[in-house]
A and B are shown apart, each in its own frame.
Chain A
Amino acid sequence: MSEDRSPLRRFARWVVWSLWPNQRLRWTREGVIYFCVWVGLLLTGLYQQINLILLVAGLAAGPMVGSIFVSAAMLRKLRISRRVPSYVFSGTPLSIDYSLDNDRRWSAALALILTDDMIPIDRAVSGPTGLTTLAFFPRVAARSRARVRWQGISPRRGQYRFRMLELVTRSPFGLLERRVAIGDPAQLTVYPEIGQLTRRWKFIQREASETRRGSRHDLSTQQQEYHGLRDYRPGDSPRWIHWRTSARRGQPMVKEFEQQHEQDLAILLDPWLPRTKISPERREALEDAIKFVATICFETCRHPGRRLLLGWTGAVPGVRQGPASVKLLHELLEQLATLRPSSEGSLASLLDVVPPSTLRESYLIVVSTRPINLMEEAERSTRLSATALRGLLGRVTVLDASKGDLRDLIKFDRTNGMAKMGRGPATDREEASLALADGPAGRPEDGEANP
């Protein structure tokens, strides 16, 4: 934004800023006690009318009154800034860099505390409480910069907003605290926590895969990628013969297909919660479901090649899909990070918006927080025919988080996240975080930073 060069406007802005209370002053605990002692001193002096007691009372009042001016001077000509990652996984270490520039020519900035609030944008997703970070700048010499890194554990999934940076000083006597709020908006997306899929989940997947292979001959060649031509071998299906090439070559040639080893995956999430009387267990189940889905997305996108679809129920059901990639993973994780629980919507309506090809060919995982009767849902669906339903039933795994279906399928490393920071071998999640940090540039936050 270009600076306003009109001196009149600049003056007007200066006046407004001078008058507008962007600074707050409040007593500290010690200040209150000091004030009480001072009142006692004053009353004694006034009652006894002894000038030396009044003198001590007067001098003792000096620090209280002087703090008003000196604390304001301490905050002058300071600049603060924050550097925050655009995303982080819930439960993993979060680092935020704060820097303080002291533009004063002469005096150092002493004992300054910087407070920053991470406020959840959607409290229904992230809960009511955010995160308050503190950074302490003991001494920043004149005309220099100091950097402090705050490290903590990232909060629950969701999008968080950083609004104001507050610079706090209790200078010079610690009796009054002055806070100046400096607007520095930023946003952080906390992706759902990623766990580790268990052997049990791998077993289920293998089982489902074998079932699919058993009926593989039923699948059309549409599921297979055309690779090239080769000589005919006994046993090859006559349908695979490429007649034109065979005629040209004078020997039978067949089309060669590369079989897809892994089938496309569709995850349908039903983040249902009752409208009222939501028990903590139900909420926990919802979060578990989201973490589970996030973990599957994460695992899937690590190996490009498959197409992945994520659908979710709600008042307006939604779908996101694409070839498994880091970019898609970000989209899906962001969606999962901001996914609101819903008391409306059903799997049937979600099935209506899922592309038919997916319903026809992909392997479906339905994760819900309530019991799901797939037959009923399919019947209610306007798109799903009886034939399609029959085909679908062999390719779907339905999991009910409220019944603890996910308990054996995923596990989380619950050790203290702080202990992992900077020490010991990096966990999978840290690797993931690092890996993702090298992912596609141009996150939304970057784009918005320029205007």
Chain B
Amino acid sequence: MKFLTIYRASFYLMLTFATLVLSIDATDDNRFAMLYPVVVALASVAAFLTVDRDPKFGLSRTAASVLALISGGLSVAEYRYDNTLLLLSAAHWLVYLQLVKMFLPKTVEDDWFLFLLGLVQVLVGGVMSQSDKVGIALFSWALMALWVLILFALHREALRMKVAPMAETARARGDRAEPYRGLIDVPFIVSTARVAATTLALGGLIFLAMPRRTSMGSSQSSGALGRHLTGFDDEIQLGQLGEILENDTPVMSVELLDNEGSRIVPGQDDESRWRGVSMDRYERGRWFRPKFKANGYSLGLTDRWRESRVVRQQIKLEPTDSPVLFGLRPILDADAPDKRFLPELNEADGTLFRNSTLAVSFDYSVDSADRADLPQPGEAYPSVGYLSRLVSIPDDLKARLRPIALDQVRGIDEGDLKGRTAALERYLKDSGEFRYSLEQDTGDPNLDPVEDFLINRKTGHCEYFASALALLLRSIDIPCRIINGFKGGDYNAMARITTVRQKHAHSWVEALVGRTQAQDPAPDWITLDPTPSAERNASISRVGGMASHFYQVTDFVRFVWIFYIVGFNSERQDRFLYAPIRALIKEAQRGFSIMGDSIKGWFHFPSVESFFSLRGFLVSFGALLVLVGVINLVAWCFRRLMGRFAGKKENDPTGMAGVQFYRRLMQLLAEYGLERPAAETPREFARRSAIFLAGHGSGTESVADVPPLVVDAFYQIRFGERTLREDDLEHITSRLDALDARIHPQKA
């Protein structure tokens, strides 16, 4: 395949990827967004087959200018149609310009311009969205860009050296115009891959080392809301949670850290409950969230907890349309890098929330006590009104459920609320009467769904179990509320994070059993989870199909993307990069100080007598050796520097003269009949000539010393880099004249 063909095809593919980065996550804003990369790809093929093969098929510059103006008008029209999409409209103009440019005959400058257009599209794409889809497209573009840059450099070099004519002449010349024949072979692919890997690694390092702020900017999306998270609305239809239980889309990624910042590895049966919303009112198969005013309680890790064991959760929440945040209860502190959206705690129901519902991922951290049974700091004891709602249950339903509940708590003292709640929990969870299932069939449609679950169906998912327990508790006047959140998650051993997916959604119950016994009495809420864990876990493991087998890899990639690329802030930078470097330096310092101490010991001589020992000899010998080395090094450097200052002795007359003398000698001896064969060195030849001259018997004995003399001088100048003194030069000249006179007596 021809170089130009490969280059051009790669270039167009890279441009298509650039447009893909721009469009891949813009379908919410513009439903035709995904058409743009398709159009670019088609246009690439068309341009490849026309203008790149023969420039006469290309647009004229005037036509291109007119089309560029029209495309500007199109972008303005798009903006006027929806004025929230200024950035996207401007980016689409880049795509139009790119399309126009593709159909022009291309010079090197045009290729750079196209490359730049692609780069700007990528940047706009990155500004508009930071999703992992954009990441994959961006990475593909980066790889293609590297490949194209390599080919582009070769193309430029060929053009510069005039061995790769442009398309029209290339076609006419055929193979002769192929500058890099046989370029694409296995070694080239391998070395290119190596270059790409090196470049990406270096680029990655530079990216990691760039200065960061605590809070990184987020993408500039159009302001649309994020993904709807079923089960976390103000009003929830019983069974609704089942929709997301069969969905394995990630909701959040969590890093668990202890007080020292070390990672905590959750156990096999991770029972962490990421508390979300609470619901207090039940009516005909629907649960309602309490209508509190958002009276936020600013959390802060009090001194009381500072010394305790704390589980820190670094959470990256995917874009959702709900202000609810998740965390392990009891929540001691919560923070976010973006101080505009600090998490707050609803002191009435203990819900954590934020004042933002923008469709961007949200970083926050939660500090929780390592014991789930501890009270939630900052949560107020329920008011009378709230308390009444916590025990409210339709009378008819209460009448029917109460006997069931009483049957289970028989023998337990009325005042032993914990005992009674535990009994009811056991009834649902461990009695074996109830089975966990995501199938939602109805036994008797005339009955309340919870009653139907308890009496007829006896199968359902966590929402039914939790609702059943809550209503049973209320039927015997124990205040309680339903909590919707997530339980467990997929722990990734490579990334050491937990990915919580929608399938991990869970409902459980919090029952109020009084006040805590602490100095500062708080409501004593206990957590009850009546759902059979084993069956639930089995059900979760079935969700996801084949893809779930690759979660270790995909979650790791996702983790890198969200924590170390999109969400890489100064805190992570410090933890990932600078802290290890600091530790390394400290370690090195310690090592050097140990080495220094041991070396010092060698040089320590308490008395003069102690110096005269084997150690003293070795030390003094070593020191002298180093001294000599240093002196030599300094002298060498000095000579080199002086040589540099003095400049090259290119026109040194003595040097040139040495060569001239040597030539003259060779010439004279040649005239005398002595020629140096190639295998003989000048010195050997001089020796042989001297013998000839000395033994000739025709008066040349007196000049037999000339050849060695001249060759010695020649060696000194040529290889010894020396210069001859003036009197030496004169001497050699006179001796050569004498030789000349002897060889050519008639001349004399």
Contacts and interface: CB of A to CB of B under 8 A. Distances in A.
Interface stretch (B202-210, B307-315, B456-464, B582-590): B202-210
Contact of A55 (B126, B146, B150, B191): B126
B161 A113 contact: yes
B216 A170 contact: no
Contacts of A57: 206-207, 210
Contacts of A59: 142, 199-200, 203-204, 207
Contacts of B215: 49
A214 interface: no
A80 interface: no
B156 A174 contact: yes
A170 B127 contact: no
Interface stretch (B442-450, B537-545, B670-678, B723-731): B670-678
B123 interface: yes
Given A62-B200, A65-B202, A138-B158, A51 B565 contact: yes
B659 interface: yes
B183 A139 contact: yes
Interface residues of B, number: 74
Contacts of A45: 210
A52 B134 contact: yes
Contacts of A52: 123, 126-127, 130, 134, 138, 219, 565-566
Main secondary structure, interface of B, reads helix
A70 B206 contact: no
Interface string A135-175: 01011011000000000000000000100000000111111
A151 to B, nearest CB: 14
A170 B157 contact: yes
Contacts, number: 185
Contacts of B651: 121-122
Most A CB contacts (10 A, CB to CB) among B112, B179, B210, B216 go to B210
Interface in A52-109: 52-63, 65-66, 69-70, 106-108
Interface string B658-676: 0100110010001000011
A136 B161 contact: yes
Contact of B157 (A42, A49, A111, A451): A111
B116 interface: yes
A281 interface: no
Interface in B192-237: 192, 195, 198-208, 210-213, 215-219
A31 to B, nearest CB: 10
A174 B153 contact: yes
Contact of B126 (A50, A70, A171, A444): A50
A447 B157 contact: no
A442 interface: yes
Given A45-B210, A48-B217, A142-B187, A53 B127 contact: yes
Contacts of B126: 50, 52-53, 55-56
Contacts of B656: 121
A122 B656 CA distance: 11
Contacts of B678: 450
A172 B195 contact: yes
B203 A58 contact: yes
Given A136-B163, A170-B153, A110 B216 contact: no
B609 interface: no
B281 to A, nearest CB: 43
B188 interface: yes
A163 B253 CA distance: 64
Contacts of B218: 50
Given A51-B565, A174-B156, A66 B195 contact: yes
B567 interface: yes
B567 A51 contact: yes
Contact of B217 (A50, A121, A138): A50
B87 to A, nearest CB: 13
A48 B718 CA distance: 64
**Which interface residue of A42, A139, A175 has the most chain B CB atoms within 10 A?**
A139
Contact of A51 (B163, B203, B566, B682): B566
Contacts of A408: none
B24 to A, nearest CB: 13
A37 interface: yes
B663 A61 contact: no
Contacts of B142: 56, 59
B149 interface: yes
Interface in B168-193: 179-183, 185, 187-188, 190-192
Contacts of A204: none
A444 B663 contact: yes
Contacts of B212: 49
A110 B180 contact: yes
Contacts of A49: 212-213, 215-217
Contact of A442 (B138, B662, B675): B675
Contacts of B134: 52
A318 B219 CA distance: 86
10 contacts: A51-B565, A62-B202, A63-B203, A106-B190, A111-B158, A139-B183, A141-B182, A174-B149, A442-B670, A451-B682
The 5 closest A-B pairs by CB, nearest first: A58-B207, A62-B203, A52-B126, A174-B153, A62-B199
